[in-house]
């Protein structure tokens, strides 16, 4: 399961150096070190159906997430395919597991008809750097990439399910393709979601864009009865474009 806006996921493909070590002055406020108990979800392959709308065009497809965790390491490969276009997005995240939880080493994203970009978590120099652009951020502990963030949230929920009550908030510092920013998930309520596994009860969380920025609204549903795996996720831009992913099946590994 990945977080990628409909425009980034679909528009480019479907409708058609100097390194700076400077850290932003506001980084200390936006980038707190947060250590929480965690329990990683069991390794599994998860298949999701996709419905989307881009510039008024309805689209469908499938996304597969291969999640692996064990022996102090983790990896996550997510591939998205759309009808008529084939594979339009591939995202890879891998790293180790430390005292904070998932500790990404590298995040690679390959979009349809675009060159792959890489985000590197350099543990030796304690910086996050990007193959696109010259920004960098301090590596303090607990940072995630766009692929690993949901699985870190899942691990935290599995370790303290009683704390995932309406109104609670869960902050992470997340790196994308060329920068990083805080992601704050807020618990909304428990809901019943229809999936390929039948009707399941899930905890509904939202991630709104920062108040001073435009961005996507993300809604995420985690199911306690299915090891807190993500069973549904939606992304919606301010212009109404959206992507909806719904779990169809899980194969434990």
Q: Residue 40 carries which DSSP code?
A: P
pLDDT exceeds 80 at position 25: no
Residue 97, token pair as written in the block? 């597991």
pLDDT exceeds 80 at position 231: yes
Residue 181, token pair as written in the block? 């920013």
Q: Average pLDDT for residues 189-208, to the nearest whole number? A: 95
Q: Average pLDDT for residues 218-238, to the nearest whole number? A: 92
Residue 3: which of 56, 101, 76 has the closest Cα? 76
How far apart are alpha carbons 89 and 81 in whole angstroms? 7
Q: What is the pLDDT of residue 175?
A: 93
- pTM, two decimal places: 0.86
What are the structural domains of the chain? 6-252 (2.40.360)
pLDDT exceeds 60 at position 5: no
CA dihedral 231→66→117→238, nearest 10 degrees, is -10
pLDDT exceeds 50 at position 15: no
- Residue 8 sits at φ, ψ, to 5 deg, of -70, -35
Q: Average pLDDT for residues 219-236, to the nearest whole number? A: 94
Euclidean distance between the first and final Cα of the chain, in Å?
Answer: 17
How far apart are alpha carbons 56 and 242 in whole angstroms? 10
Q: Does 85 or 6 have the greater pLDDT score?
A: 85
How big is the CA angle at 172 (ends 126 and 144), to the nearest 5 degrees? 50
- How confident is residue 46, by pLDDT bands cut at 50, 70 and 90? very high
Q: What is the pLDDT of residue 214?
A: 64
Residue 111, token pair as written in the block? 């979009």
How far apart are alpha carbons 27 and 137 in whole angstroms? 8
pLDDT, tens digit (0-9, with 9 covering 90-100), for 89-128:
899 999 999 999 999 999 999 887 888 999 999 999 999 9
Q: What is the pLDDT of residue 210?
A: 64
pLDDT, tens digit (0-9, with 9 covering 90-100), for 36-45:
999 999 999 9
Q: What is the pLDDT of residue 88?
A: 78
Q: Which helix (H) or strand (E) holds 151?
A: helix 148-159
Q: What is the pLDDT of residue 213?
A: 62
How far apart are alpha carbons 95 and 98 in whole angstroms? 10
Residue 21, token pair as written in the block? 């070590």
For the chain, what percent of residues have pLDDT higher than 70? Answer: 85
């Amino acid at each position: 399961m990945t977080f990628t806006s409909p425009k980034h996921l679909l528009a480019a493909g479907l409708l058609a150096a100097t390194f700076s070590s400077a850290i932003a002055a506001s980084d200390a406020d936006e980038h707190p070190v947060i250590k929480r108990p965690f329990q990683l979800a069991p390794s599994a392959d998860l298949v999701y159906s996709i419905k989307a709308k881009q510039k008024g065009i309805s689209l469908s497809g499938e996304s597969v997430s291969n999640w692996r965790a064990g022996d102090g390491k983790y990896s996550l490969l997510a591939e998205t395919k759309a009808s008529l276009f084939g594979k339009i997005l591939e995202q890879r995240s891998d790293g180790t597991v430390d005292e904070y939880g998932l500790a990404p080493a590298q995040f690679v994203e390959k979009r349809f008809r675009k060159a792959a970009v890489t985000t590197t978590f350099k543990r030796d120099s304690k910086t996050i750097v990007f193959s696109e652009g010259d920004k960098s951020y301090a590596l303090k502990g607990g940072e995630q990439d766009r692929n690993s963030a949901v699985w870190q949230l899942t691990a935290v929920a599995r370790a303290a399910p009683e704390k995932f009550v309406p109104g609670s908030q869960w902050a992470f510092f997340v790196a994308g393709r060329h920068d990083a920013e805080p992601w704050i998930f807020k618990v909304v309520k428990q809901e019943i979601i229809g999936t390929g596994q039948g009707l399941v009860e899930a905890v509904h969380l939202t991630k709104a864009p920062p108040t001073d920025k435009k961005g996507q609204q993300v809604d995420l549903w985690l199911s306690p009865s299915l090891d807190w795996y993500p069973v549904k996720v939606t992304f919606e831009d301010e212009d109404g474009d959206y992507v909806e992913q719904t779990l169809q099946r899980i194969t434990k590994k």
